[in-house]
Amino acid sequence: MNAATALSKGAATRELILARALEIADAKGIDALTIGTLADAAGMSKSGVFAHFGSREELQLAVLDAAARGFTDEVFVPAVRERRGLPRLRAILQGWKRRTLRYGESRACPIGAAAIEFDDRPGPIRDRVLGHLIHLRKEIARAVAMAVEQGHVRADIDPDQIAFEVHGLVLAFQFELKLFGIERAVLRVEAAISRMLDALALARPEPVSD
Amino acid sequence: MNAATALSKGAATRELILARALEIADAKGIDALTIGTLADAAGMSKSGVFAHFGSREELQLAVLDAAARGFTDEVFVPAVRERRGLPRLRAILQGWKRRTLRYGESRACPIGAAAIEFDDRPGPIRDRVLGHLIHLRKEIARAVAMAVEQGHVRADIDPDQIAFEVHGLVLAFQFELKLFGIERAVLRVEAAISRMLDALALARPEPVSD
DNA sequence: AAATAAAACGCACGGTCGTGCTATTATGCA
DNA sequence: TGCATAATAGCACGACCGTGCGTTTTATTT
């Protein structure tokens, strides 16, 4: 056995289970992820699956973390190959758009969905979800701040405010996908993104009165 | 019995049940609205509640419609007292913000939540939710179009695009409430709203190059 | 007031859920 | 190869779900 697969049997099937769990959570949402369904999908017994996590909640937390890792790998990791500043910010937005599109017209990002499903249920899951979302927002704000440092963007803008509005754009994009289909949603989000990036790069909102 | 309460016993308790159901759906989401819980909240038996709707799905549809009526009453109805154009658009946004705030930091608009919970479950509920959302978006776009007609807003903007972005703003607002609390969320959304309304009213994005 | 209709209840059924407990099988090390 | 240990299966429990049915209570009409 080589180094990459140097896993004990238990750890290996745990990964297999987690992969199936991620598929289910992607497709049906995190609280449609039941132990029985997951056991069927993994070709195991309920108690076999259960033993790997100890509780349903622990399973859900593991899936949440896996989803967050997937987001990082798919959106942030490729983006850091771009130059700091606007190019990298643009890459993040493109990656995010691409990932959102992969969910299609009738599914949602599992973390965003979990944030809404659990917003009224205090506990570890809600905390974990909010933690991931806060991290996401910070990364966006960081990319904007870098763009300011690089002189790509006006110095008087607030990176956190832009992160807020970018987040809203992606959320609206998800809804537009469901409401009016892919083509229209892509047009809208790209119009909004370029409008926003233009506004960031412009000299001042009212150059005449300067 | 006077005219306002001229309801048969059945219709009256149906309204009572619906009111309790709306409370539950507001607080816990539409699929935490179970017949047993609702029966307890209404002080009735499960079968008593059940008989009024014939199925759980029919109950959920009724609650969805009630929530949409509530939104209209709370947001659109007061807004039509304002003058057409920007004042009315502003009133809609304020009303929407106020309503969103009422849900606080740890609950979501039941229709928006249902849109996400049911995005992967085709059927009458999903259709109804999307119908309400499309209606909402059309109303926003209509208000923007009126503002164009009144000359309050540049003629080259697309009302549907603005409706898209406004929707995103409110969604981001809801998340901001959960992530960072009320004060910060209010500051952000008001900054974003006034920035957007300013952009609508301004002459052109690049007046110097004209 | 009696008769008819509507409304609500009590109860049970079949289903799924998460979770323990015990037995069995497979794995990895001496 | 044999043995300790980890991994999985089997099974049952209690809770909750939606839903149907027969009965009983409450409203409405004659």
- Confidence class for position A3, pLDDT limits 50, 70, 90: very low
So what's the architecture of B64-203 in CATH?
Orthogonal Bundle (1.10)
Residue B104 has a pLDDT of 87
For residue B29, list chain A residues with Cβ-Cβ distance below 8 A. Answer: 116-117, 120
Conformation bin of residue B43: beta by default, left when phi > 0, alpha when psi is -120 to 50 = left
- CA dist A173 → A156, A181, B169 (Å): 27, 10, 11
Going by C-alpha positions, the residue among A131, A94, A91, A90 that lies closest to residue A111 is A131
B171 CA, C12 C1': separation in Å? 45
Helix and strand totals (H; E) in chain B = 10, 0
B206–A205 C-beta distance less than 8 A? no
**Choice between A210 and A7, residue whose per-residue pLDDT is larger:** A7
Q: How far is the alpha carbon of A54 from chain B, nearest alpha carbon, in Å?
A: 25
Residues of chain B with pLDDT under 70: 1-6, 9-10, 202-210
For residue A198, list chain B residues with Cβ-Cβ distance below 8 A. Answer: 205
Euclidean distance between CA atoms B175 and B112, whole angstroms:
12
The first and second tokens of residue A55, run together, are 């509780």
Nucleotides of C under 7 A from a protein CB: 6-12, 16-22, 26-28
Residue A203, pLDDT above cutoff 80? no
Q: Calculate Rg over the CA atoms of chain B.
A: 20
Q: Counting every residue, how long is chain B?
A: 210
State the distance between the two ends of chain A, measured CA to CA, in whole angstroms.
Answer: 69
pLDDT of A134-184, one tens digit each? 999 999 999 999 999 999 999 999 999 999 999 999 999 999 999 999 999
The first and second tokens of residue B51, run together, are 């008989």
Going by C-alpha positions, the residue among B45, B48, B47, B18 that lies closest to residue B33 is B18
The first and second tokens of residue A209, run together, are 């009165």
Question: DSSP state, A206?
Answer: -
pLDDT of A11-52, one tens digit each? 889 999 999 999 999 999 998 999 999 999 999 999 999 999
Interval A53-61 mean pLDDT = 97
Chain A residue at shortest CA distance from B134: A179
State percent of chain A over pLDDT 70.
91
CA atoms within 13 A on the CB side of B159: 19
In 3-state terms, chain B is what percent helix, strand and coil (to 5)? 75, 0, 25
The first and second tokens of residue A119, run together, are 């917003």
Residue B202 has a pLDDT of 65
- Specify burial of residue A164 (Cβ count, 10 A radius: 0-12, 13-18, 19+): buried
Residue A208, pLDDT above cutoff 60? no
Question: DSSP state, B83?
Answer: P
Name the residue ranges covered by the structural domains of chain A: 60-202
Going by C-alpha positions, the residue among B86, B80, B76, B78 that lies closest to residue B157 is B86
Q: How far is the alpha carbon of B143 from chain A, nearest alpha carbon, in Å?
A: 19
Going by C-alpha positions, the residue among B101, B196, B181 that lies closest to residue B140 is B196
Cβ atoms of residues B31 and B113 within 8 Å: no
So what's the architecture of A60-202 in CATH?
Orthogonal Bundle (1.10)
Residue B99 has a pLDDT of 97
Interval A67-87 mean pLDDT = 97
Residue A183 has a pLDDT of 97
Interval A83-93 mean pLDDT = 97
Cβ atoms of residues B13 and B52 within 8 Å: yes
